[in-house]
Structure 1
Amino acid sequence: MRVIFMGTPDFSVPTLTEIVAAGHEVVAVYTRAPKPAGRGQVERKSPIHLAAENFAIPVHTPKSLKGADEQAEFASHNADVAVVVAYGLLLPKPVLEVPVHGCLNLHGSLLPRWRGAAPIQRAIMQGDTRTGVMVMQMDEGLDTGAIGLADEMAIGPDLTAGELHDIMMRTGADLMGRALAALERGSLEFTPQPETGALYAKKIEKAEARIDWSRPAQDIHNHIRGLSPFPGAWFEIELAGKRVRIKALRSTLAAGNGAPGTLLPGELIIACGSGAVRLIQVQREGKTPMDAATFLRGVAGQLPATVL
């Protein structure tokens, strides 16, 4: 089939690779425009942009698809289907209706639960024990389209958002490959989403990343792993009269009780509103991630009685 691929981050790359490997003709790739990054603010192409160039696929980086010129260019590709994986721009109705078989989206949740921008993080932060990836027929709503294929998976008690991202990235590529094969055979059927159970996974805001030690230990553990590795749940400690920000990248539940934020006996165990968590991996501001033992050796004799 003639395919338009639309994606931006590394999450999208395995799906593009799967589509190319299956022998489909990817006639165009749409991605977000290069952005300044790093200390030199050099414009950096998206992971999908780089992947498309490796496959010698033409790349388009429109700021919007609402204009007549952009929509005419999209239609000129004469695509059978568009595949959308974490693209980052809304597709207006005229674009959705261009491909013969419409636009298929790969979404990282069990819809209608966790529609929106951050389904992987929100599922873990909420303490969900199961999730999945779904191939959905896109419509004008926010992740409201009918479902074509789905794969479910467990969320382990200590699994981080980064780990779940990588699992979904691989599983989703295979799922989309199977969906396109079924579509080509004329056997891909779509089922409307349930009317009940919708939740919205709003974008992660920087302000919510700070750890509130007054919350129960299970909530804090979910908060830490749901924001790992990015943006990273964080707290502060006072070292040599200066507040230092620490990201908590990996944790587990621990025995112990005390006033919230109290450092308890053991290796970086911190009391919560109820129960305690043990931090396994942390990242001091301006440093690389390190395990708890390495961190403690670096601040030996400096740790206060509580964290902030």
Structure 2
Amino acid sequence: MNLVFLGTPDFAVPTLKALHASRHTVQAVVTQPDRPKGRGRAAQPPPVKEFALAHGLDVLQPTKASAPDFVEQLRPMKPDLIVVIAYGQLLKPNFLELPKHFCMNIHASILPKYRGAAPINWAIINGETETGVTTMKIDPGLDSGDMLLIRKVPIGPDDTAQDLHDALADAGAKLALESIDQLEAGTLPIAPQDHDEATFARKLKKEDGFICWTQSAQRLHDLVRGLNPWPGAYTFLNGHRLKLYKTETAPRQQKDEAGRVMRVTKHGIEVATSDDRLILTELQPEGKKKMNAQDFLAGHDVQIGDRFESAPQPIQSD
């Protein structure tokens, strides 16, 4: 089949790689414009562009994919299918009508749960033990089109957002090819979503990482995992911000008080929560690199009874 591919970040690269290596033809790769990045704020190409150029694929970077002039630029290609994964824009009807069949999205959740920008993070934050990828026909709504195929992926108890990102990216690549093969064979199932069951995974903000110590230890452990590597969970101790990257839970003891340091060992700093304890095992002080608890304690005086500042309200996905 003749394909046009839309994608931008690392998550989209395995799917593009799989399509490029397949018997199908990637006519063009559409990705977001280069953006300023890093301390120098120099314009950097998105990962999809880097892969495409390295493999001789044509790259297009419109400001708006649904702009009439860009739609007319694509029209002569007459693609059989347009494949979209983590592109970063809603597509309008004038774009969706371009391919012979339809525009197909690979979404990082089991729809209709976790529609939106951050399904991987929110699945972990909410303590899910399973998620997946869904291929779907794109409609003008937000991840609301008819579902095609689903592949489930387990979430381990200590998986971070990065771990799950990588697993789902690989699963999405396989599912995209499977969906295209079934489309060609005329066996691809199509099922409408139950919109009453839909949940939304809004885009994360840096302030979402502020720890609320009056929550449970498991909830905070899930928050730390779900915000690793970005934006990172954080708290304040003695007026200094600490980012938390790895944690464990441990049973509470009598007289624990939420937010208080209850035990300090080389393995970690045990902090009381609303029920059990959260053990901080990998931290990042302001202006420094991530380090394990032992290295952190070598340069910071943390005493039993010290109190971490707490966010006034826990975060919600929608």
TM range (shorter): over 0.9
Q: 1:268 aligned to 2:264? A: no
1:91 aligned residue: 91
Contact persistence 1:74–1:95 (CA under 8 A): no
2:225 aligned residue: 225
1:168 aligned residue: 168
2:315 aligned residue: none
Which residues of 2 match residues 154-233 of structure 1 at below 5 A? 154-233=154-233
Give the partner amino acid of 2:272.
Answer: A
3-state secondary structure, aligned to 2:196:
coil
Q: CA–CA distance in 2 between the matches of 1:237 and 1:28?
A: 51
Q: Structure 1 residues 84 and 269, CA, compared in 2 at 3 Å: closer, same or farther?
A: same
3-state secondary structure, aligned to 2:308:
coil
3-state secondary structure, aligned to 2:52:
helix
C-alpha deviation, 1:19, in angstroms: 0.4
Give the partner amino acid of 1:259.
Answer: E
Q: Structure 1 residues 254 and 125, CA, compared in 2 at 3 Å: closer, same or farther?
A: same
Give the partner amino acid of 1:289.
Answer: K
1:3 aligned residue: 3
Deviation readout 1:35-59 (Å, 9 max, x if unpaired): 1111211100000010110111111
C-alpha deviation, 1:4, in angstroms: 0.5
Q: Normalization by structure 2: what TM-score? A: 0.92
Q: Which moved more, 1:256-265 or 1:170-179?
A: 256-265
Give the partner amino acid of 1:261.
Answer: G
Q: CA–CA distance in 1 between the matches of 2:58 and 2:280?
A: 46
CA RMSD of aligned residues (A): 1.5
List gaps (5 residues or longer) in structure 2. 310-318
Contact persistence 1:65–1:91 (CA under 8 A): yes
Q: Structure 1 residues 72 and 254, CA, compared in 2 at 3 Å: closer, same or farther?
A: same
Which residues of 2 match residues 258-297 of structure 1 at below 5 A? 258-266=256-264, 267-297=268-298
Q: CA–CA distance in 2 between the matches of 1:174 and 1:292?
A: 39
Percentage identity across paired residues of the two chains:
38
Q: 1:101 aligned to 2:101? A: yes
3-state secondary structure, aligned to 1:115:
coil
Contact persistence 1:113–1:197 (CA under 8 A): yes
Q: CA–CA distance in 2 between the matches of 1:200 and 1:207?
A: 19
1:248 aligned residue: 244
List gaps (5 residues or longer) in structure 1. none
Q: CA–CA distance in 1 between the matches of 2:251 and 2:295?
A: 22
Give the partner amino acid of 1:143.
Answer: D
How many residues are matched?
304
Give the partner amino acid of 2:307.
Answer: T
Deviation readout 1:85-111 (Å, 9 max, x if unpaired): 100011101111110111110111111
2:314 aligned residue: none
Q: Which moved more, 1:57-66 or 1:41-50?
A: 57-66
